[in-house]
Amino acid sequence: MELYKEHQLKVYNSLTNKKENFEPLTEGYIGMYVCGPTVYSNVHLGNVRSFMSFDMIFRYFKHLGYKVRYVRNITDAGHLENDADVGEDRIAKKARLEQIEPMEVVQQYTVDFHNVLQQFNFLPPSIEPTATGHIVEQIEIIKTILDEGLAYEVNGSVYFDVLKYNEKEHYGVLSGRNIEDAIHNTRVLDGQSEKRNPQDFALWKKAQPEHIMRWPSPWSDGFPGWHLECTAMSTKYLGEQFDIHGGGMDLKFPHHECEIAQAQASNKKSPVRYWMHGNMLTLNGKKMAKSTGNNILPSEIISGNNDILSKPFPATVARFFMLQAHYRSILDFSNDALEAAEKGYNRLMNAINDLDALNAAPTSSIDIKKWKSTCYDAMNDDFNTPILIAHLFEGVKYINQLKESKASLTDADLQELKEIFNVFTFDVLGLENVSIQDTTDKLSGVVDMLIGMRNDARANKDWALSDKIRDELLAIGIQLKDGKEGTTFSVQ
């Protein structure tokens, strides 16, 4: 029997602002769409955190036995510099500044995006469509919305009529915004805008002569609005209504709000059952921003080539750090936080490495099934990875007790302990068991040398020196353990 039949999963739905029992449209199948990057620059660390949350969710669904179609798009056209449908296309602007073709920009940063996600051990999505590959679908949706009387054409551009739509539907259903308040707080148009109302948004924009990226349409040579691409691609691959739509909190308005309006206008139904939003990542207590220098690239964490961190950190340690916070919580990234995460990661991996050396016993003194149940309970409660990790460290205590013969497990329970650590640490959280150079090679040599000196001191009955070596190592997080087969150490 599939695991999902044994577990009732609760998901926080941004549409209702509460946790709900998760029930997919079709039993055993899940359709999930996540807004991908606009590929005009190196992928932002905050974006990595958001995509990581949905990678973890994808992994857990797969573990439960669901067949998941996970669609994550690439925005390679149509994303203007601000949400008011003005300014240059971000990719075209980058191409103009670097004097290269827009698709060279797209290729360069799509490759960077994939490389970074591979380093952080992401699973690839089922489908990764591009905006430029779905121009025809976007044009057809615009035709439908025009036929419904919910859009209008002006000088070759087409705009969605928000006030007309709001007569029967609620524009603001996701973000909680009230259209009347928005009208009251909006400045009167200056006469130069083509829009009937400031709240309206572009479905198609006529390209100015200098605009590089353009396609023919019934209205003009131009390009689609940014919001439209996600409606076109999500409904093409997942249907007019699907299970989950995810993205960062910053996309809730206007991007996701506009998606709902477009889909409702063209298909006459709400497109998504469960809207899910990940929260932001700050750096040293402040918003990340290239303009202020309060910024770090994912690749700079791994290389150590930055002015923020004291040393390089493996990508899997950064992944572990991010998953120690709930995906809906703000998380502050700092050197101290990453160093603490590395210590925790080492403790976890050291314990997992010890699993194969454990011996079974005739009876069990630990209730492994109860512990296993707490791990599932954490993930079933809106993918609560920090609680799951806390339970994994309970498991680390069990391993240490077993090593020290202070607890026992039967062979069946021992195999289950190993299986659960493997499932949740590697399959669900997506961590990798990597050797961290400082703690495996150079550090091992130094500690082994000190253990030898301590053994000599003990042989000479120099108990003061022996205790000093032990205590000073413990003070820096290295614990010595004396056993029948000699002295070993672990990094705390």
Per-residue pLDDT of the chain (492 residues; tens, 9 = 90+): 799 999 999 999 999 999 999 999 999 999 999 999 999 999 989 999 999 999 999 999 999 999 999 999 999 988 887 766 778 889 988 998 999 999 999 999 999 999 999 999 999 999 999 999 999 999 999 999 999 999 999 999 999 999 999 999 999 999 999 887 666 555 544 445 799 999 999 999 999 888 889 999 999 999 999 999 999 999 999 999 999 999 999 999 999 999 999 999 999 999 999 999 999 999 999 988 777 778 899 999 999 999 899 999 999 999 999 999 999 999 999 999 999 999 999 999 999 999 999 999 999 999 999 999 999 999 999 999 999 999 999 999 999 999 999 999 999 999 999 999 999 999 999 999 997 644 445 677 888 888 989 988 888 888 888 888 888 888 887 888 887 668 877 665
CB 174 within 8 A of CB 14: yes
Beta bridge partners, 246, equal: 34, 276
pLDDT digits (tens, 9 = 90+) for 141-158: 999 999 999 999 999 999
Cα dist. 189→185, 199, 203 in Å?
12, 10, 19
Residue with tokens 């995810």: 246
The structure tokens listed for 305 are: 């080539």
Angstrom CA distances, 242 to 10, 28, 69, 327, stand at 17, 13, 10, 22
Asked whether the beta carbons of 487 and 480 are under 8 A apart, the reply is yes
The Cα 5–Cα 66 span in angstroms is 10
Q: Which two tokens stand for residue 434?
A: 């990597």
pLDDT at position 485 is 67
Q: How distant, in Å, are the alpha carbons of 45, 215, 432 from that of 337?
A: 15, 48, 19
Is the distance from CB of 205 to CB of 222 less than 8 angstroms?
yes
State residue 444's pLDDT score.
72
Q: What is the DSSP letter of 122?
A: P
Q: In this structure, are residues 75 and 134 in contact, taking their beta carbons and an 8 Å threshold?
A: no
Q: Given this model, what pLDDT does residue 183 score? A: 65
Residue with tokens 């009732």: 8
- The residues of the chain that CATH labels 1.20.120.640 are 282-428
Strand order in the sheet with 151-154: 151-154, 157-160, 201-206, 222-224
CATH architecture assignment, domain 282-428: Up-down Bundle (1.20)
Q: Is CATH 3.40.50.620 what the domain over 3-278 is classified as, yes or no? A: yes
Strand partners, 148: none
Q: Any residues with CB less than 8 A from the CB of 135 and at least 6 apart, and which? A: 215, 224
| Residue among 478, 333, 361 at smallest CA distance from 417 | 361
Query: Using alpha carbons only, what angle is made at residue 200 by residues 196 and 203, rounded to the nearest 5 degrees?
Result: 110
Number of neighbouring beta carbons within 10 Å of residue 393: 13
Domain with CATH 3.40.50.620 in the chain: 3-278
